[in-house]
Structure 1
C-alpha cells in the first residue's frame, strides 16, 4: 500500500474494504450517480471491481495491479473505475455475478466487469494476474484488449451488453410457479434428496469435488427429508459432513469458528477468512442434528464458536451498551494467507514441551509441514483422528498454543454490521441457547437484536442494510427484513416477550410495501434503483438463504401464532409463484421449509409463569422435529400451580400436558 500517496475518493467511505483501497494509484469511485454520469460525459467504459475485505485474491489483485503505478495509469486513462464492497451492495454484486455466468464464465471474487456508461456489461472475469499465468492473461493485456475493442468494435460490444441485459431482465420476469401451475410434490423432493446422496462424498462428507463449501442449507434439506422418511442413509450423509466440518482444518481448533471454504476435498486446507453468515448457518445445522444424535462434538464446537463470537466478532457497544456482530475476519496477516493460523513443528515443540508429541499426533502435525512452506494446519481429519489422548491434555495444549498465537499480528476484521447476517446469527444463537440451555448465549442475541433495532431502523420501521462507524447505509434489502423477522420470532418463542412478535408483524408490513410485485405475487430482492440495470428476484438459496424462502417460513409462523388467514394465503401465493419442478429441490431448502411448516406445523403453546414453564419449553426445543413452533404465553393471573402445554396440529389441539416427559411422548405420536 502506498501510504504516502494522497487519498482517492474512497477515503470518504466507511466500508473497511473500500478504505483499504483509498491509497491505491487508481482513481477509484464508489458506486454513485456522479461516477456513472462522468462515464457518459467522457464516453468511457466503466471498470467495475467488486470484492470484500476478507477475500484473499482480492488483496492479491490489489497488491499486483491497483498498487502498481503503470497498471493504474492505464486504468485511469481509459476507464472510469468503480470499486464496490459486495457485502455493502449485494444487489450490485448479484446483478453482475449473474451477468458473468450468462457470459459462460464461473463467477467469484474479485469480480472484474467492464460496462457501458449505462451499466450494461459486455466483458468480465474474476482475478487477473499482473503477468500471464494460471492460464490467464495479464491484467494489462485485458485492459489493452478492452480499450482496442471499445475503439474498434463498440457496436459488437453493445450487442453483447444488450443480450446479457435482456437475459437478466427476462429471468426476473419469469414466473415459474404460475406459468406451470406447479404444486410441491413429495416425490420430487425425495428424488432430489436421492440425487444429493448420490453426489455426496462417502468418506469426508460434503460434495465429492474440491473446493468444498459448507453448503449448510443443502444438508439441512437432506437432514429434514431423512428425518421425515426415517432414512438412516440420508441422515448419515449429514452426520458425516458435520463430523468432518468439525474436525477438519476448515475449523479453527484453537480459537473457534469456521473458514469460508476448503480448497481440498477433505476439509483440510481452508481459505482462512471467517464469515459471520457461515458460522451462523453451521451453528443452526449442528444444533438441529444434535437434537437427534446428541453428539457431544457438535455441542463443543458450537460452544467454542460462541466464545470466538464474544471475543472477536462483537461491534463497538452503542449508547445502551448493546453490541451486534461484525461481518468477517480476513484470511491474511502480514500479507500472507493463513500466517496467523499455521504452525511450524518446532514452534509447537517449544511451546508444549513434553506434551508436544501426543498433540502433534492428534492434530496431524508433520515435521516438515503438512501445508505450504513447512507449516502445519491443525486438523483431526487424518488416520490418527481417533487416537485416545486425555481430553484434559488436549485442552491444556490448545490453551497454551492459543495464548502464544494471541501474540502474533492478527488478521484484520471488517467491522461493518450487516442487518441480514446479524439476523441469521441472532436466529441461530437463540435457537442454540434454548436447546443447550445457555442463557448467556440468549443474552448475546437479545443485545444484538436491540442494537439493530435502535441503530439501524428509522422511526417508520425502515431498516438500513449496513452500519459502520456510526454511519447507516439507508438502502435495505429483502433479506435484511426477512432474516430479522425470523430472528424476532425465534426470540419470541424463547422469551415469551410479545414485543418480538409485534416487531416481526411490523416488518412484514414493510416488506409488502417495499418489495411486493403484484403481477407475479412474489417479492423483489431490492427496491427499484434507477442506477441499476435489473431488479432481481431470487428463488434459490446460495451461501445464504433466499429472502423469499425465509419469508415463507416467517409467514407460516405468523399464521399459526396469530391465527390470521392472510398470512397463510400470502405464504401459499408466494410458494405457488416461485416453486418450479425445473429447480432442484435441494437448492430451494428455505422455500421448502416454509411450505412444510405451513402444512405440517406442530404448534406447542406453553401457558404459565415463565420460570416454571421453562422445563416444558426446553423439552419442546429439544424434540428433533423442524416443524415445531413454540409459543410461550405469560399467564400471571392463572390459578394453575403448574404451567400447561397445548399441542395443536392439523386443525385440532390435544388435552393439556403438565410434564416434559408427557410432552415428548405426545409429540412423538404425531406423524408429520
Structure 2
C-alpha cells in the first residue's frame, strides 16, 4: 500500500511509496510515490477487489504522455483525491507500452467492471432476498435497498443467466452463488409438482395484527424479532452485516419509505463486507460466513410460518392491445399461473447452469439460501419444466402452444414470445435430437411471421377483437420476441446443414432488416436485438461437435468443457454413434456434421471426442483452450451482413 517514509543510503526522501516501486516499467515507476495506493495489473489487485467488494479504478498511460503527467500533478499527487480513491476503489496502473493487450481492451474492462459492480450491488441490496433467494422486481430508492417486493419469473431466470455469464468471464464464485440462490429459490417455492414454474409472487401479504394485506410484510423484520430469533451470540454480527437497526433501517433515502410503511422495520441490505463483519466480530471469515448462513436459515424457517404472499395468477397478454389484465378476484387467487414464455426462460437458465456450474472450484457448499445442489439437479429441473410445457401447453397435432396453464391449459393461443423463449430454452437444453425446437420454430414461422414486412407479429391472426396485429419493437424487462427469435434463427443455422442453414440465415436477415429504422433511430430501445444482430454479423457460429455415449462421464466432461468460457457465438451438436435415432436425426438435419464423425470411424462405445473446426480432441482442457481463443478466420462469414440503409 502507499506508505509514508524516507529513503536511506543517500536516496531522496519520499512521503509515499506504493507497490509500483517494485516494477520495471518507467511509467509505473513514475507513479511509485503517489499517495494513491496503486497496484500493477495482476491477480493481487483482482483478489483484493473481490474480497473487499470494490470496483477497480483502471488508469492506463505511458511514460512520455504529456496529459498523463498533467493528470498525475492535478489528481494522483493530491492527498485528498488519493484518499478518496483509496477508500472507494482498488487502483490499478497500467503501462500501455508494456501491456498493449490491456490498453486495447480497456473499453471492455471499463464496461465489465461497471457491469460486475452493478451485479454485486444488486445482490447486496434489498432487491435480493437475502433470506430466501431470488430478486424482487425493482428498488424504489437509489441505494437498491427497499424493493417493490413482487417477484417475477421473467426477471429471475434472465438475471441468473447474467450472473452465470459473469462467473464465466471473471471466474469469481460470488456470481455463481447468486445464480444458485435464484435457482434454489425457484425450486423451493415456485415449482409446480409436475415441473412447471409459477409466474410470480405478490408483493403484498397479510399482517395478522391488523388483518390487512401490506406490501413487503412477509420480508421485513422488527429489531425484537431478529434478537429473539438469532440470539445474543449471532444477532449483533448479523444485524451489523445487514444494516438492521433498533428503530428500523429504511432511512437511507427519502425515497426508501415515503409513506412511512416500514417505520421500525428492517429490510435487509448488506452494507459491509464479510471481511469487515468478521474483523468486527473477531472471528475468521469462514466461521463468520457459516454463522451468517445459519442465521439466514433460521429467519427463513421463521418466515415460512408467516402468511405467505399468493403466487400471481395474471397473464400478461402481450400484443393483445388494451390494458394489462388485473389480478383475478379473490375466489380465484388459489389458481397458480404457469406461462409458457417464462418457463422457456427458466429452461434456458437451468440448462446453462448445469454446464457452467461444474467449473466452480471448489464445488459449491451449502450456504443458505444456496443449497449446494449438484449441477445435474438443474438439468433435471430444465427437463421437467420442458416436459410440463410439452404435456400441458403444446398441441402435438396442430404444433401450437397455449399461453398459460392454471388448472388446465388456457384457451388463449401462444404469443410470439412464448414460441421464441421456448425455442431458446430447448436450444440451450440440447435435448436428444432437437426436433421439438425445430417444430416450434416452424409453427412460429407459419402463424406469426410477417411475409410482407419481415419479423414476427406478437399474436396469431384470427382474433376479431384485435383490429391491428402489432410487432413488439422494445426490449424491456421482457425482450421483444423478434429479438430472441433472431438469435434462435442464427443458432439454428449453425446447427443445420448447408442447405437448411441458408434458409435460416435468410430468415434471420429479414427479421433484422425489419427493425433497421428503429435500430438506427433508437438503438437503446432494442439492446437484445442489437446483441442478436451482433451474432448475425459474425456469420456462422463456432460449431462444436461432441460424439460419445449420452450420459457417459467422458461425454459429459467434453460438454462441460465447452461451456467453461463465455462463448455466446457457439453451438453444440451432440452425436451418439450408438443411437440410431440420434444419428438418423442429424443425418437428415446436418449430414456434414455426421460425416465428420463417420470419417473418423467412430463406433458405439468409443471414447468421446470433440470436433472444433473439425479438429478432433478427447481432452477437455484442449476444448477449453480452443474456445477461449478469439474466433479464427474459418469461422468468419464470407460476406459481412449489413442492415439496409446503414453504413459500415
Q: TM-score, normalised by structure 2?
A: 0.64
Cross-structure match for 1:71: none
Alignment of 1:346 onto 2:224 = yes
Residue 668, structure 1, aligned to residue 628, structure 2: yes
Whole-Å separation in 2 of the counterparts to 1:503 and 1:471:
19
* Match for residue 531 of structure 1 among 465, 473, 486: 465
- Which structure would you say has the larger RCO, counting Cα contacts within 8 Å and 6 or more residues apart? 1
After superposition, where does 1:245-324 map in structure 2 within 5 Å? 245-315=122-192, 317=193, 322-324=194-196
Distance 2:558 2:337 in 1: 38
Looking at CA atoms only, which structure, 1 or 2, has the larger radius of gyration?
2
Q: 2:203 matched to 1:328?
A: no
The answer for the alignment partner of 1:615 in structure 2 is: 557
Distance 2:266 2:235 in 1: 14
User: 1:361 and 1:598, CA in 2 relative to 1: closer, same or farther beyond 3 A?
Assistant: same
- 1:526 to partner: Cα distance: 1.0
Closer, same or farther: CA 253–588 of 1 in aligned 2, 3 Å: same
What is the match of residue 604 of structure 1? Answer: 544
Given candidates 618, 632, 636, the residue that maps to 2:578 is: 636
- Residue 380, structure 1, aligned to residue 265, structure 2: no
Where do 5+ consecutive residues of structure 1 fail to align? Answer: 1-201, 205-225, 648-652
* Regions of 4+ moved over 4 Å: 226-230, 382-386
User: Match of 1:406?
Assistant: 304
In structure 2, how many angstroms separate the alpha carbons of the residues matched to 1:586 and 1:627?
A: 22
1:467 aligns with 2:432: no
Root-mean-square deviation over aligned CA pairs? 2.3
Is the contact between residue 606 and residue 645 of structure 1 (CA under 8 Å) also seen in structure 2? Answer: yes
Partner of 1:502: 435
Aligned to 2:32: none
Aligned to 1:561: 495
Within 2, Cα distance between the matches of 1:370 and 1:543?
29
Q: How does 1:55-94 map to 2 (within 5 A)?
A: none
Q: How does 1:390-405 map to 2 (within 5 A)?
A: 390-405=288-303
The C-alpha deviation readout for 1:622-672, integer Å capped at 9, x for no partner, is 21222121221112282474322112xxxxx24212211112222233337
Q: Deviations over 1:340-382 (max 9, x none)?
A: 1101111111111121101100111111001222000111145
User: 1:329, CA displacement in angstroms?
Assistant: 0.3
Q: Aligned partners of 1:604, 1:313: CA distance in 2, in Å?
A: 34
Q: Does 1:547 align with 2:481?
A: yes
User: Equivalent residue of 1:605, what SS?
Assistant: strand
**Secondary structure of 1:582's aligned partner:** helix
Asked whether the equivalents of residues 55 and 113 of structure 2 are also in contact (C-alpha less than 8 Å), the reply is no
Partner of 1:604: helix, strand, or coil? strand
Cα distance change on mapping 1:517 and 1:435 into 2, 3 Å: same
State which of 353, 356, 380 in structure 2 corresponds to 1:432: 353
Measure, in 1, the Cα distance between the counterparts of 2:406 and 2:178: 29
Quote the Cα distance in structure 2 between the aligned partners of 1:541 and 1:420. Answer: 15
Determine if contact 2:392/2:409 at 8 Å carries over to the other structure: no
SS in 2 for 1:326: coil
Matching residue of 1:358: 237
Q: CA deviation at 1:227?
A: 12
Q: What CA deviation, in whole Å up to 9, does each residue of 1:90-146 have, x standing for no partner?
A: xxxxxxxxxxxxxxxxxxxxxxxxxxxxxxxxxxxxxxxxxxxxxxxxxxxxxxxxx
Q: Secondary structure at the match of 1:373?
A: coil
- 2:300 partner SS: helix
Shift of 1:521: 1.8
CA displacement 1:420-458 (0-9 Å, x = unmatched): 111111111111121113111111110111111111111
The one-character-per-residue Cα deviations of 1:595-625 (angstroms, maximum 9, x if unpaired) are: 3333432111111223121111111112122
Distance 1:373 1:427 in 2: 40
CA distance in 2, matches of 1:617, 1:665: 14
Matched, 1:368 2:333: no
Gapped runs of 5+ residues in structure 2? Answer: 1-53, 57-102, 207-212, 251-261, 279-284, 313-335, 359-374, 580-601, 633-648
* Structure 2 counterpart SS, 1:380: coil
Would the aligned equivalents of 1:621 and 1:630 in 2 still touch at CA under 8 Å? Answer: no
Q: Is the 8 A contact 1:363 1:385 kept in 2?
A: no
The answer on 1:421 being equivalent to 2:321 is no
Q: CA, structure 1 residues 669+654, in 2 after alignment: closer, same or farther (shift >3 Å)?
A: farther
TM-score normalised by L of structure 1: 0.62
Greater helix proportion: 1
